[in-house]
Amino acid sequence: MSEFEPNETGGKQNPPTGEELWREEFPVASAEQGFVERRQFGRFLVLTSGAMVAGQLWLLGKNWLSEVETTEYPRKAVALTSEIPVGGTKVFQYPGPSDNCLLVHVEPSKFVAYSQKCTHLACAVIYAPEKKRLECPCHEGYFSIDDGHVTQGPPPRPLPRIELEVEGGQIFAYGISVFGKET
């Protein structure tokens, strides 16, 4: 039955106006759809915002845990004093087998050691004896040989320093310090 034919009561329906006709043919309310899309986008943004808070809380929890748990580093013989000449270096692993560190014989009675992993993008740092500094060859980040602080380049943090002691002609590593703090 056509919609313009007489209905059951015998009367005729009015023909639809222009707007009613296209709404019947295309019943999608774009304005409504816009509202729904924006609401969903807003939900997604707020959810992401919640994830950021979760990240901050994770950091806070990790902070709290690091205060509760004290990390014990092993005492480990890493080299003999006689095996490295002045200006020479030796790579050793401390505290774990995959944590490369660089032992440097700076002066006749001075040994220092730092993590070999650059704090920028984890390239291996090397010692430049003529300039007395540690250099990252990847992005020209330089670190002081005295305390490991960044003197130039993109690294955001100093190199972790390995605590050393010399005993009976042997060099022992016994801890790691960051910014002078025992970790």
Partner 1 sequence: MGGYNSPLRKRAGRALSGALALIVVLLVVQIWLLMASVESWLAGHHEVALPAAIISGVLFAISVGLLALIRKTEQTGRRPGT
Cβ 142 to partner 1 shortest distance, Å: 17
Query: Please, which of residues 115-134 interact with partner 1 by CB under 8 A?
Result: 119
Residue 36 carries which side chain, given as an amino acid letter?
Answer: V
In degrees and rounded to multiples of 5, residue 145 shows phi and psi of -75, -20
CA dist 22 and 94 (Å) reads 75
CA dist 112 and 145 (Å) reads 8
Q: Does position 49 bind partner 1 by CB under 8 A?
A: yes
Q: Does position 42 bind partner 1 by CB under 8 A?
A: yes
Stretches 25-33, 126-134, 136-144, 164-172: which one binds partner 1 (CB under 8 A)? 25-33
Q: Using the rule CB under 8 A, which residue among 35, 75, 107, 146 binds partner 1?
A: 35
Half-sphere exposure of 47 (CA within 13 A, CB side): 6
In degrees and rounded to multiples of 5, residue 134 shows phi and psi of -95, 135
Q: Which is nearer to partner 1, 98 or 181 (CB)?
A: 181
CA dist 117 and 148 (Å) reads 12
Q: Does position 20 bind partner 1 by CB under 8 A?
A: yes
**Contact residues for partner 1, defined by CB under 8 A:** 19-20, 23, 29-32, 34-35, 38-39, 41-43, 45-46, 48-50, 52-53, 55-57, 59-60, 62-63, 66-67, 119, 156-158, 178-179, 181, 183
